[in-house]
Amino acid sequence: MKKVLLEMEDQKNSYEQKAKESLQKVLEEKMNAEQQLQSTQRSLALAEQKCEEWRSQYEALKEDWRTLGTQHRELESQLHVLQSKLQGADSRDLQMNQALRFLENEHQELQAKIECLQGDRDLCSLDTQDLQEAMWAMAPSADGDDCCSTGSVPGQ
């Protein structure tokens, strides 16, 4: 019976040892699980923080996009106004160039008429001078001498 008691004692010790080892293993697994949980919680917190940062950036970009859209529409409107003004200016420029060409042509015509009239005046002046000389040559001088004989012209 002693032998049986010893065997039972050995079995008890063996079971206790196995129970201790199993308990130790469970405790280690629990600690590992807790560490993994903490690591996962930290990762989750970082992921949530990143998510919040991205959400904030997204909202800022969305607002910037709205602002840029508004600015784009305003600039397009200004562009249309400026294009309209440019078309008006081009039209006025065309009219002014036509008027300038007309005035230049008229100036050239008037210049040609002036030159023609100056030529006519010069001819008339020469003819008048020739007539005056011819008249003075025929007219008797005041002292009775012939103006042609002295070669002088009265009034000179």
Q: Which residues contact 146 (CB under 8 A, 6 or more apart)?
A: 140
> Is 74 part of a structural domain of the chain?
yes
The DSSP output letter for 144 is S
CA dist., res. 135 & res. 146, Å (int): 12
pTM for this predicted structure: 0.45
Number of domains in the chain: 1
Range of the domain at 31: 7-95
**102 located within any domain:** no
pLDDT of residue 110: 96
For the stretch 73-110, what's the b/e string if a residue is b when 16 or more beta carbons lie within 10 angstroms of its beta carbon? Answer: eeeeeeeeeeeeeeeeeeeeeeeeeeeeeeeeeeeeee
User: 150, 132 in Cβ contact below 8 A?
Assistant: no
In a domain, 101, yes or no: no
Digits of tens for pLDDT over the chain (156 positions)?
Answer: 888 888 888 999 999 999 999 999 999 999 999 999 999 999 999 999 999 999 999 999 999 999 999 999 999 999 999 999 999 999 999 999 999 999 999 999 999 999 999 999 998 998 888 888 888 888 766 555 554 544 444 444
Judge whether 150 lies within some domain: no
pLDDT at 156: 44
Question: Does 100 reside within a domain?
Answer: no
pLDDT for residue 142: 55
Quick check: is 84 in a domain? yes
pLDDT of residue 145: 54
Q: For 27-82, what is the HEC assignment?
A: HHHHHHHHHHHHHHHHHHHHHHHHHHHHHHHHHHHHHHHHHHHHHHHHHHHHHHHH
In a domain, 23, yes or no: yes
Give the list of residues 6+ apart from residue 150 with CB closer than 8 angstroms, or none: 141
